[in-house]
C-alpha cells in the first residue's frame, strides 16, 4: 500500500475539510494533486477498502434503528441470513459464534416502520427476533487508528 493510500485511510477518517474543495485541501496537505487524491480514493472504494467518503450519523438521532439477534439452527442459517439481508432497512448482518448466531442492524425512518420490519422478519423466518436497541452511547468516535505491519 502506498504512502498516499495509507495517509488517506488513516488521517482523514474525521475532520474532513469542510471547504467547497475538500479533496484539493487534502491534496495540499499531502503535497499531491487533487486528481491523485480523487483517483486514489476511487480506487480504494473499488477495492472495497473504503466504503465511502462521507458522513457517519449518530444512531437514533435520525430515524430509528436497532441491533437485533436471532438463534438460527445451523442448517438454516444461510437461508435465513439471505431473507434478513434482503431488506433494504438492514445495513449490517453478521454470523457470530454464539447460540444467538445471527446479528443484524435495521434502520428505518421511524419506530413504526422499524417494528414492522422486525415483526415481518420474525414471521417469515419463524424464529424469534431479539431487539436490542441502543440505550446509551459511551464511545467517542474518532475513527480507527490503523497500524501497518
Partner 1 sequence: MVMTRQAMADPLYQGGELDARDLALISIIQRGLPLCSRPYAELGAQIGMSETEVMQRLLRMQEQDYIKRMGVVVRHHELGYRANAMVVWDVPDTQVNELGHCLGRFEFITLCYQRPRRLPDWPYNLFCMIHGQDRDEVLRYIDFVIKRCALHDIRHEVLFSKRRFKQRGAHYHRAAALSK
Quote the least distance from Cβ 12 to partner 1, whole Å: 5
Nearest-CA neighbor of 104 among 120, 121, 116? 121
Provide the b/e sequence for 41-51 (b: ≥16 CB within 10 Å): beebeeeeebe
Q: Does 18 bind partner 1 (CB under 8 A)?
A: yes
From residue 90 to residue 129, the character string flagging contacts with partner 1 as x (rule: CB under 8 A) and all else as - is xxxxxxxxx-x--xxx-x-x---x----------------
CB of 120 to partner 1, least distance (A): 16
CB 105 within 8 A of CB 65: yes
The reply on whether position 79 binds partner 1 by CB under 8 A is: no
The C-alpha atoms of residue 48 and residue 45 are separated, in whole angstroms, by: 5
Answer yes or no whether residue 56 interacts with partner 1 by CB under 8 A. Answer: yes
Amino acid at each position: 500500500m502506498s504512502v498516499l493510500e495509507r495517509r488517506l485511510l488513516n488521517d482523514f477518517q474525521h475532520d474532513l475539510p469542510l471547504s467547497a474543495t475538500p479533496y484539493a485541501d487534502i491534496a495540499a496537505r499531502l503535497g499531491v494533486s487533487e486528481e491523485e487524491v480523487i483517483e486514489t480514493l476511487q480506487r480504494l472504494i473499488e477495492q472495497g477498502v473504503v466504503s465511502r467518503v462521507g458522513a457517519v450519523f449518530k444512531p437514533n438521532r435520525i430515524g430509528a434503528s436497532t441491533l437485533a439477534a436471532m438463534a438460527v439452527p445451523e442448517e438454516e442459517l444461510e437461508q435465513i441470513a439471505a431473507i434478513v439481508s434482503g431488506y433494504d432497512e438492514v445495513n449490517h448482518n453478521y454470523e457470530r459464534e454464539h447460540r444467538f448466531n445471527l446479528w443484524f442492524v435495521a434502520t428505518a425512518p421511524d419506530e413504526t416502520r422499524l417494528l414492522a420490519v422486525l415483526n415481518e422478519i420474525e414471521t417469515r423466518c419463524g424464529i424469534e427476533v431479539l431487539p436490542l436497541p441502543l440505550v446509551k452511547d459511551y464511545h467517542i468516535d474518532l475513527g480507527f487508528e490503523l497500524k501497518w505491519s
